[in-house]
A and B are shown apart, each in its own frame.
Chain A
Amino acid sequence: MAKSEDSLTLKDLNLGCVVTEPGNARQYKTGSWKSKRPVTDREKCNKCGLCYIYCPEGCIRVNNKGYFLSNYEYCKGCGICAHECPQEAITMIEEEEE
């Protein structure tokens, strides 16, 4: 499945829908399921990393400045990080909003 989800057609399917390329689940982006996304206020964040620990998706990564940020391609928008953040630094905003 070297192709993107959108460009796959029935011609790309092997007999029995067998997948011959290992590890291609990585290409499957599941973040489109969410209706809200977490946005971190870097003024309030003290880089404690609790959001990283609580995220059930394991999609929060620390960036090169030490901030813990969600990868929206995999984030499901559950809001657990926002709920757990001791600094109340995370706000869940509607996907449609900028």
Chain B
Amino acid sequence: MAQKIGMEVSIALGEAAKLANTDVIAAYPITPQTHIVEHIADMVANGEMDAEFITVESEHSAMSACLGSAAVGARTFTATAGQGLELMHEVLYVASALRFPIVMTVANRALSGPLNIWGDHSDVMATRDCGWIQFFVENGQEAFDLTLCAFRIAEDPTVMLPTMLSLDGFHLTHVVEPITLIEKSDVDKFIPPLKHPFALRPDKPVTMGAFAPPFIYTETKKIADEALRSSKKVIVSVWDEFGKRFGRHYNPVETYRTEDAKTLLLTMGSYSETAMVAIDNMRTKGEKVGLIHLRLWRPFPFAELKQTTENADNLFVLDRCISLGGPGGPVCSEIKAAFYDSQKKPSIIGFIGGLGGRDMTPGDFEYMTKRGKEIIQHGTKNEVEMIGVKE
């Protein structure tokens, strides 16, 4: 087993793409993702990585080039953030419809305007219905590990879906963390070569991206939805296998000190670790609080989520994104929808915070816990509160 070394998380992700034998990278630099593809470009230029690096003029072209690469059956990686993800938006749907197992890192960043390069989840939330497998990571080690898993999941013959790994811009991309890399030979055993059953070949021509008129379009969406839903069992089994091989275990929904907790906080991404500090603080004061960390976002882990909240009275959800003029935050509205039919459900209150790189401290999570209980007591359950607004 390789040693733990201090490394910028972006660099570790570049290393993951190399270890996974990526054939093609098509990417455009954008903060806070740039270090990932810069590191890959360095390795390709230095001859340390045997891959094609396609420099393109925009993210729309980056994802389009990824389609071409995946179409010939090449293992394909890219990374983007914020506006870049929005610029490739329409092409994302094509990647999933064509069942191309492209792996992409999204260094989550707020969307303009006003211009802001710092982290929140507005970029990825705008793409939640694009048919990709999507998960959120909490720290650098997880980002590295789950990038390797992403290739394995995406390329599973029963899955064949593009996979998006979200990590918080700056809070994760730009920090140096102790990371255990994995030996190349072990990665090779974990990720078998990619075999796309219809990969383009001159002697076996096929049509990709043919149009689907009204008489068949509905059916294409039905199978796309089924494919994404049923990928969950493969995601779980690949994460299990990773745990057995490498000793680090990952689940669609993680819990922290939830056993006897009456109040649960729910977070995604790196703020989960900040929230854990807050949970520890509140526990020392005798409060029965715990944390749910939603790792898997698409396919949405309905059953796993419900299991974790069985004994809780309250569930306070943090969104790092706002659905302007809508029901508050996208995560909270989905959580509420997930519990709509349940006999026993917690009181769910939504909070919006950490927008555009605004820090959330353990104190903010303690405030969220206190405020959530107040809202429930005063019976204004539909309220969605933005944390830390300077009025």
A contact set with B: CB distance below 8 Å:
5-6, 8-10, 13-20, 22, 25, 28
Contacts and interface: CB of A to CB of B under 8 A. Distances in A.
A17 B198 contact: no
Nearest to B222: A10
Contacts of A15: 99, 160, 197-198
Contacts of B222: 10
Interface majority SS (helix, strand, loop, mixed), chain B: loop
Interface string B192-225: 0000011000000111101011011001101100
B43 interface: no
B216 A13 contact: yes
Nearest to B214: A5
Given A10-B220, A16-B160, A19-B207, 14 more contacts: A5-B215, A8-B216, A9-B219, A10-B219, A13-B219, A15-B99, A16-B208, A17-B97, A17-B210, A19-B206, A19-B210, A22-B207, A25-B210, A28-B213
B215 A17 contact: no
Nearest to A4: B215
Given A16-B99, A16-B160, A16-B198, A6 B223 contact: no
A6 B214 CA distance: 11
Contacts of B212: 17
Interface of B: 97-100, 160, 197-198, 205-208, 210, 212-213, 215-216, 219-220, 222-223
Q: Which of B97, B100, B206: most chain A CB closer than 10 A?
A: B206
A62 to B, nearest CB: 30
20 contacts: A5-B213, A5-B216, A8-B215, A10-B220, A10-B223, A13-B216, A13-B219, A14-B198, A15-B99, A15-B198, A16-B98, A16-B99, A16-B208, A17-B220, A18-B198, A19-B206, A19-B207, A19-B210, A20-B198, A28-B213
Contacts of B207: 18-20, 22
A22 B208 CA distance: 11
A43 to B, nearest CB: 39
Contacts of A20: 198, 206-207
Contacts of B208: 16, 18-19
Contacts of A19: 206-208, 210
B206 A13 contact: no
A60 B223 CA distance: 39
A28 B223 CA distance: 22
A3 to B, nearest CB: 11
Nearest to B197: A15
A5 B215 CA distance: 7
A73 to B, nearest CB: 15
